[in-house]
Amino acid sequence: MTEAIAAIAHDQHEHPPAGIMRWLTTTNHKDLGILYMSFGGIMFFIGGAFIMAVRAELLLPGLQWLSPGMYNQLFTLHALIMVFGAIMPFATGLNNYLIPLMIGAPDMALPRVNNWGFWILPFAAVLLLTPFFLQFFGTGSGASGLGWVMHNTSLDLQSGIGIDFAIFTIHLLGISSLTGAINVVVTVLNMRAPGMALMKMPLFVWAWLITAFMLILVIPVFSAAATMLLTDRHFGTHFFDAANGGDPILLQHLIWFFGHPEVYIVLLPAWGLIPHILATFSRKPVFGYRAQVYALWAICFLSFIVWSHHMLTSGLPLAAEVYFMYSTMAISVPTSVLVFCWLGAIWRGAMTFETPMLFALGFVAHFGMGALTGMILPDVAVNAQYHNSYVIVSHFHYTFFGGGIFGMMAAVYYWLPKFTGHMFDEKLGRLHFWLTVIFFNMTFIPQWFAGLDGMPRHIADFALRFSAMNLISSVGAFLLGLSQLLLVYIVVRCVRGGPQATGQVWEGAQGLEFTLPSPPPYHTFETPPAVK
Amino acid sequence: MMDETGKRKQRTLQLVVALMLFVAAIYAVTFIKLPVWLPALQ
């Protein structure tokens, strides 16, 4: 009898429960990692579908099929979904799956909180999208159309339930992000295997520890700003109401105090994983480890003191403008340290160009263009010219897509064999890379030139002289969206089968996760590994 | 004497409580003080 009970206990311990209950109730970091990544992937395609509608409107001059109000809703939902629904949850999925494996911990420190943090997300997504779909049934005036930072002053007369739904969504997402961030800090500081000193941790873990501190500092500010907006709208306060002694610029300050670090919250996880991928496929150790750790901390610090470069046309005093211009440019110093370390990693390496390496190099090239264009924009005189133009749209897509999403795709291809136990189709992976590169640039280079020529953003129509650039950009966007379906096919095929992946997976791969079989057992490192 | 697992649980609890208090403090400061401090930049 005792042996039978022990066998059942052993069985439940080693194998996950079957069916839907496994995914609803799981506290296992690998299961939750897969849930987060799957959610991020689904939202990536929903957010992409919204922007396809926007690009269809911008295919030709004149209003084609969207009203200006609907146009505002679509680009706002695209941005909110891509930042908060796709990139951040996907990066959180990677940290859930990988951090315990990388530091030799059996799980995250707070597994139940981890489950709660994930299951908030689908409800937040439903809350965000509900008013958009309700308008088609004659209820409400649609979703928020204020842009992702909710302070678009040209649109702030919008009323209706959409903004309230967005405010509640922000609160839910904030709770989810904070639980995840606290979990990362506690896990990394408290759960490392013996011998895994802080300065021995993989850079991905460092990047996520710093990201978590940033989230803990800025999410409460964002949530508080959203609460203040809610009380202004419904409970008679006047934080942002100029007619009653409030200050509309205060909302911009609060939102950008969150919004600028948020850019680094999106990018830091990618900056942490790229050095590992470059080192693996160059057959070299990570280059400039300490320099990269200090550079990440420097970027974290600087990101908190530069927020008003997003507000250089809001009427700041000259001294403040000059301060925010120079402090923003100062970020290029630690960022350059990172870029030169990435280049140092491949310098004279025995490089091979498997799909993860291609995406990692694509990340360096495209993020580099985003960073260089970002160097120009904080210049006060230049900013006055290009603020609210398509130059900005092109710039931040080179950082968010060229940096964040290229980084996440490099991670997908790098760790997919580890997650599934199967190798993916390398030829299709390379095809996906080249299609993404070509159509990404076809979409966003024309936007840069249209912006230089004076095309404003956030407007559903454009002057005739921007027609050619918008036509190329729209066709590029449609093809970019279509080519991402190839990624789905590659991932699904890899999950269902394929050549068996070894534990090491890649010849030059280093790190504790590669000492485990592929896929790793359901429970790992219950006895802490010895780290030299 | 507390064993290593007990110490780790205690440290986890202390860290979580400290971080949650930090979050609450920033939320409160945003309401109470930032509307005074930030407009001074203008």
Domain count, chain B: 1
In a domain, B2, yes or no: yes
Question: Do the Cβ atoms of A268 and A278 come closer than 8 Å?
Answer: no
Q: Which residues in chain A have their CB less than 8 angstroms from residue B5's CB? A: none
**Chain B interface includes A484 (CB < 8 A):** no
Work out the percent of chain A whose per-residue pLDDT is above 70.
95
pLDDT at A150 over 80: no
Q: Is residue B38, in this structure, part of any structural domain at all?
A: no
Range of the domain at B13: 1-29
Alpha-carbon separation of residue A326 from A322, A329, A379, A478, B30 (angstroms): 6, 5, 8, 38, 26
Choose, out of A216, A252, A310, the residue to mutate when testing the contact with B (most B CBs < 10 Å): A216
Q: Do A228 and B31 touch (CB under 8 A)?
A: yes
Bridge partners (DSSP) of residue A389 are A456
* Contact call for B23 and A247, based on CB within 8 A: no
User: Residue A10 above 90 pLDDT?
Assistant: no
Assigned domain for B4 exists: yes
Q: What is the widest separation between alpha-carbon atoms in chain B?
A: 58
Residues of A in contact with B27 (CB under 8 A): 220-221, 223-224
- Chain A residue closest to B19 (CA)? A182
Q: How far apart are CA A282 and CA A251, in angstroms?
A: 47
Which residues of A are less than 8 Å from B23 in CB distance? 178, 216, 219-220
**If you ran DSSP here, which 8-state letter would residue A87 be given?**
I
Nearest to A249 among B24, B34, B39 (CB): B39
Q: Do B15 and A190 touch (CB under 8 A)?
A: yes
pLDDT at A515 (0 to 100): 94
Between A and B, how many residue pairs show a Cβ–Cβ distance under 8 A? 67
Structure tokens at A460: 């559903």
CB neighbour list of residue A116: distance below 8 Å, 6 or more residues apart: A179
Spell out which residues of chain B touch residue A318, defining contact as CB-CB under 8 Å. none
Phi and psi for A256 in degrees, rounded to 5? -80, -20
Cβ-contact A14, A521 below 8 angstroms: yes
User: Residue B38: its chain A contacts at CB < 8 A?
Assistant: 250, 253-254
Distance, CA of A94 to CA of A34 (rounded, Å): 8
Please tell me whether residue A129 adopts helix, strand or coil conformation.
Answer: helix
Radius of gyration of chain A (CA): 23
Copy the structure tokens of residue A394. Answer: 């092109």
Cβ-based neighbour number of residue A260 at 10 Å? 22
Select from A3, A7, A92, A1 the least CA-distant residue to A41: A92
Nearest to A360 by CA among A425, A396, A413: A413
Residues of B in contact with A320 (CB under 8 A): 41-42
Residue A17 has pLDDT above 80, yes or no: no
Asked if A186 lies within 8 A of B8 by C-beta distance, the reply is no
d(CA A435, CA A433): 6
Strand partners, A422: A500
Is the pLDDT reported for residue A153 higher than 70? no
Residues 6+ apart with CB under 8 A from A456: A388, A389, A390
Cα of A160 to nearest chain B Cα, Å:
24
Band (pLDDT 50/70/90 cuts) for residue A95 is very high
Of B11, B20, B34, the CB nearest to A190: B11
**B24 assigned to some structural domain:** yes
The answer to whether residue B3 sits within a structural domain is yes
* Domains, chain A, with CATH or none: 29-201 (no CATH), 350-522 (1.20.210.10)
Distance from CA of B28 to the nearest CA of A (A): 8
Interface of A with B in 229-268 (CB under 8 A): 239, 247, 249-250, 253-254, 257
The span from the CA of A64 to the CA of A44, in Å, is 25
Q: How confident is the model at residue A241 (pLDDT cuts 50, 70, 90)?
A: confident
- Tokens representing A193 are 């295997």
| Number of helices followed by number of strands (H, E) in chain A | 18, 0
Q: What's the pLDDT at A347?
A: 95
Query: Which member of A190, A219, A239 has the closest CB to residue B8?
Result: A190
Put simply, the answer to whether B26 touches A221 (Cβ < 8 Å) is yes
ipTM of the complex: 0.88
Residue A399: φ, ψ to 5°: -80, -50
Among A163, A179, A165, A247, which Cα is nearest to A212's?
A: A179
Residue B40 has pLDDT above 70, yes or no: no
Q: Respond yes or no on whether the N-terminal peptide bond of residue A519 is cis (omega within 30° of 0).
A: yes
Residue A317: count other Cβ atoms within 10 Å of its Cβ: 10
Give residue-wise pLDDT tens across range A440-498.
999 999 999 999 999 999 899 999 999 999 999 999 999 999 999 999 999 999 999 99
Asked whether residue B42 is assigned to any structural domain, the reply reads no
- Distance in Å, alpha carbon of B7 to nearest chain A alpha carbon: 10
In this predicted structure, the answer to whether residue A501 has a pLDDT above a threshold of 80 is yes
Q: Half-sphere exposure (CA, 13 Å, Cβ side) for A385?
A: 11
Does A132 score more than 50 pLDDT?
yes
One-letter identity of residue A418: K
Mean pLDDT check: name the lowest of A55-64, A113-122, A305-314.
A305-314
Give the tokens for residue A82: 């891509």
pLDDT above 70: residue A130? yes
Mutate which of B5, B9, B10, B31 to test chain A, going by most A C-beta atoms within 10 A?
B31
Nearest by CB to A185, from B19, B27, B38: name it: B19
**pLDDT attached to residue A145:** 84
Q: Which of A185, A220, A247 sits opposite B39 (nearest CB)?
A: A247
Residue B1 lies in a domain: yes
Is the CB of A175 inside 8 Å of chain B's CB atoms?
Answer: no
Q: List CB contacts (< 8 A) between A178 and chain B.
A: 23
Confirm whether B37 is domain-assigned. Answer: no
A176 touches A117 (CB < 8 A): yes
If you average pLDDT over residues A38-65, what whole number do you get? Answer: 96
Q: What is the pLDDT of residue A13?
A: 56
How far is CA A87 from its chain centroid?
3
